[in-house]
Amino acid sequence: MARGNKLFCLSSGGYRIVKKGMNRVCELFNIKYPVIQAGMIWNSGWRLASAASNAGCLGLLGAGSMYPDIVRENIQKCKKATIHPFGVNVPLIYPDMDKIIQIILEEEVRIVFTSAGNPGTWTKYLKDRNVTVVHVVSNLKFALKAVDAGVDAIVGEGFEAGGHNGREETTTLCLLPLLGENIKIPIIAAGGIGSGTAMLAAMALGADGVQIGSRFAASVESSAHVNFKNAVIEAKDGDTQLMLKKLTPVRLLKNKFYAEVKAAEEHCATEDELKQLLGRARSKQGMFEGDMEEGELEIGQIASTIHSIKTVQEIVTEIIGDYNALVKKGFATF
Amino acid sequence: MARGNKLFCLSSGGYRIVKKGMNRVCELFNIKYPVIQAGMIWNSGWRLASAASNAGCLGLLGAGSMYPDIVRENIQKCKKATIHPFGVNVPLIYPDMDKIIQIILEEEVRIVFTSAGNPGTWTKYLKDRNVTVVHVVSNLKFALKAVDAGVDAIVGEGFEAGGHNGREETTTLCLLPLLGENIKIPIIAAGGIGSGTAMLAAMALGADGVQIGSRFAASVESSAHVNFKNAVIEAKDGDTQLMLKKLTPVRLLKNKFYAEVKAAEEHCATEDELKQLLGRARSKQGMFEGDMEEGELEIGQIASTIHSIKTVQEIVTEIIGDYNALVKKGFATF
């Protein structure tokens, strides 16, 4: 069975779980809840993605930290672990993108989230091969570019998100209404969303669904090192900061490596000096190998409200439960 | 009649407009809508504050850009222009604070919003004199400090807000749930709120009310120069940035002065060099006198969704109308 089929081509073997007209994100991916588990480097392997899909969300593999062979292995394991749709997040600026795209097609994954690159490069190619394409943006200009390229939906990611981030520093609260004014295709909110109440806030702002990263980074099924997960649940407000703006802006959890970057930036380090400081495989060292001093630790601001490592099923039950309870409780009018 | 009396002391001459139990912010200030018009420097004179109060919100005078005599004049004019409660925003680090506080007491204004300073300094003094005190914070630590000092409510202001801003860079979407977890007194959300949908988003995140700045800066009644109002409605996403972090972080609208600050910061200017560049009365030059090149222009990120200068009544009608419509429309459960 081809994974991630859209509603209209479920005759190929999938089954319909979404009521038409209920929610555009649920319809687009044929999922129960309009919740995407973000494809985070070093966190989003097949265990996390399949658990998210099994819990009624859309699971995403994070190809940004995988060699092509590892992408294939993760796709194959994910297929065995869930009968539900899942997708792959591919940062378009990474090397080996051609190979990874071919593997995705060979393995018949039918959902691709692209980020960090030009949506014009791969969108038509993928859509011609029956793949649903979503592009991640941090400003209106790139959102309009992605719409022009023919993507099926947009992820609008705010300044508070973990990992790589936009130069405009527009927050989710300010980005969503702006996208809503100008974009007709489904909008998925990302950055700062770790709860059912934040999910409802995003829907109030016009989002059709949400992409959640940090909360799932602190899940049992995340492939990150337990040291990293523990650091996430211990983070307080102000413990992350957007750094390395001369290279590509990235939100870091404060540690020894962060302090070195901060000191270098305060002394006006050049791009080359920052690149040298960053070195290679820092994020693997931190998030995957658990070196909390020298590693690069990427997490969102919302980590300050995450206090425990839970299973994906527990997380999803809590988010959807809180969301539904708040919807049912309603709000006073004035 | 004493202005801004709380519900329980309305026998002194006010009249009750708020149903008990409806909304804590409405009850606290005896106002129709849980909307505070922010006390912005060079924008929030008596015309704006009285118009906001007459429209059912809580109007605030912005004392941060006023000499003591001007504060008194604005209070007296505001009293003549509205029978409804209004308050004064006082940045505690400004000179002449003692004089301004005495004028507020002499003029029997019963609501004070304090910001930019230690809430311990004035809160008890004001509360002993029957003044409702609200303190503006950008992180949990200062929120807890303000609660300890005995304030009646907290404004939680996120990174996207205009003007002076917190060093942690926590966004409204991330700050509100954190405050909600830890603070029992009413929470007023600020930063990134320019519409009824954003107001509902803030309420979903646990706020009891909202403080709106940028939208009211682009009102007919704002005392800012029309050049500044026009610049606000023309701003696109990415047109503001948090600058001067070595001094006090402030969100600026990009112009010639901003470009000079940016260049200086990129060349690692010292605090003293930045102070010299900032000079004196830059914000007056920009926002009040309309010098769009050399002036300091303070506005929030949400300016990118503000497209027209309207009267305060039109703005409030639109915000409350959109909020109520969205509440009545409701949300799907999953």
- Cα B8 to Cα A84: distance, rounded to the nearest angstrom: 58
Q: How many CB atoms lie under 10 A from the CB of residue A146?
A: 26
Chain A residue numbers touching B266 (CB-CB < 8 A): 268
Chain A residue numbers touching B236 (CB-CB < 8 A): 140
Q: What is the DSSP letter of B305?
A: G
B255-290, pLDDT tens digit by residue? 999 999 999 999 999 999 999 999 889 999 999 999
> How far does B143 lie from chain A, in Å, by closest CA?
12
Report the pLDDT value the prediction gives residue A248, as an integer from 0 to 100. 92
Helix axes A140-149, A172-182, angle to 10 degrees: 40
Residue of A nearest to B330 (CA): A327
Residue in the block written with tokens 């915000």: B319
Report the pLDDT value the prediction gives residue B18, as an integer from 0 to 100. 74
pLDDT higher than 50, residue B221? yes
Report the pLDDT value the prediction gives residue A94, as an integer from 0 to 100. 83
Region A203-211 average pLDDT:
98
Report the predicted TM-score, pTM, of the whole model to 2 decimal places: 0.94
- Cα B171 to Cα A240: distance, rounded to the nearest angstrom: 12
Non-local (6+) Cβ contacts of A147 within 8 A are A154, A183, A184, A185
Non-local (6+) Cβ contacts of B182 within 8 A are B140, B143, B144
Region A142-150 average pLDDT:
98
Instruction: List B residues 284-323 in contact with A (Cβ-Cβ < 8 A).
Output: 300-302, 304-305, 320, 323
Report the pLDDT value the prediction gives residue A18, as an integer from 0 to 100. 74
pLDDT higher than 50, residue B13? no
Q: What is the spatial order of strands in the sheet that A111-115 belongs to?
A: A35-37, A209-212, A187-190, A153-157, A132-137, A111-115, A86-91, A59-62
Region A217-237 average pLDDT:
98
Residue of A nearest to B239 (CA): A168
CB contact under 8 A, A174 and B302: yes
Non-local (6+) Cβ contacts of A205 within 8 A are A172, A173, A176, A177, A180, A189, B197, B198, B201
Non-local (6+) Cβ contacts of A279 within 8 A are none
| Class of the domain covering A7-224+307-324 | alpha beta
Identity of the residue in A34, A171, A327 whose CB atom sits nearest the CB atom of B171: A171
Tell me how far CA of residue B319 lies from CA of B157, B194, B206, B212, B222, in angstroms. 19, 8, 19, 10, 17
Enumerate the H helices of B19-96 as residue ranges. Answer: 24-29, 46-54, 68-81
> How far does B300 lie from chain A, in Å, by closest CA?
9
pLDDT higher than 70, residue B10? no
- Cα B222 to Cα B231: distance, rounded to the nearest angstrom: 14
How many residues can be counted in chain B?
334
A172 contacts chain B (CB < 8 A): yes
- pLDDT band of residue B116 (cuts 50, 70, 90) is confident
> How far does B194 lie from chain A, in Å, by closest CA?
9
Region B209-229 average pLDDT:
98
Quick check: B255 and B297 in contact, CB under 8 A?
yes
In the beta sheet, which residues pair with residue A109?
A3
Q: Which amino acid is at B246?
A: K
A178 contacts chain B (CB < 8 A): yes
Tell me how far CA of residue B141 lies from CA of A46, A316, B59, B147, B168, in angstroms. 39, 30, 27, 10, 11
- For strands B163-164 and B187-190, give the pairing: unpaired
Region A56-84 average pLDDT:
97
A12-41, pLDDT tens digit by residue? 345 666 777 789 999 999 999 999 999 999
Chain B residue numbers touching A327 (CB-CB < 8 A): 330-333
C-alpha torsion sign, points B105, B106, B108, B111: negative
A258-296, pLDDT tens digit by residue? 999 999 999 999 999 999 999 889 999 999 999 999 999
How many residues can be counted in chain A?
334
pLDDT higher than 60, residue B301? yes
H/E stretch holding A28: helix A24-29
Region B116-143 average pLDDT:
96
Region A222-232 average pLDDT:
98
Question: Mean pLDDT for chain A?
Answer: 94
- Cα B25 to Cα B67: distance, rounded to the nearest angstrom: 29
Report the pLDDT value the prediction gives residue B200, as an integer from 0 to 100. 98
Chain B residue numbers touching A23 (CB-CB < 8 A): 332, 334
- pLDDT band of residue B192 (cuts 50, 70, 90) is very high
Quick check: A277 and A266 in contact, CB under 8 A?
no
Q: What is the DSSP letter of A279?
A: -
Instruction: List B residues 205-244 in contact with A (Cβ-Cβ < 8 A).
Output: 205-206, 236-238, 241-242
Q: Could you report the predicted ipTM of this complex, rounded to two decimals?
A: 0.94
pLDDT higher than 70, residue A2? no
Q: What is the DSSP letter of A155?
A: E
Report the pLDDT value the prediction gives residue B14, as an integer from 0 to 100. 54
Residue of B nearest to A142 (CA): B237
Interface probe, candidates B174, B270, B317, chain A, greatest A C-beta count within 10 A: B174
Domain boundaries, chain A: 7-224+307-324, 236-302
- Cα B209 to Cα B83: distance, rounded to the nearest angstrom: 22
pLDDT higher than 50, residue B140? yes
- pLDDT band of residue B21 (cuts 50, 70, 90) is confident
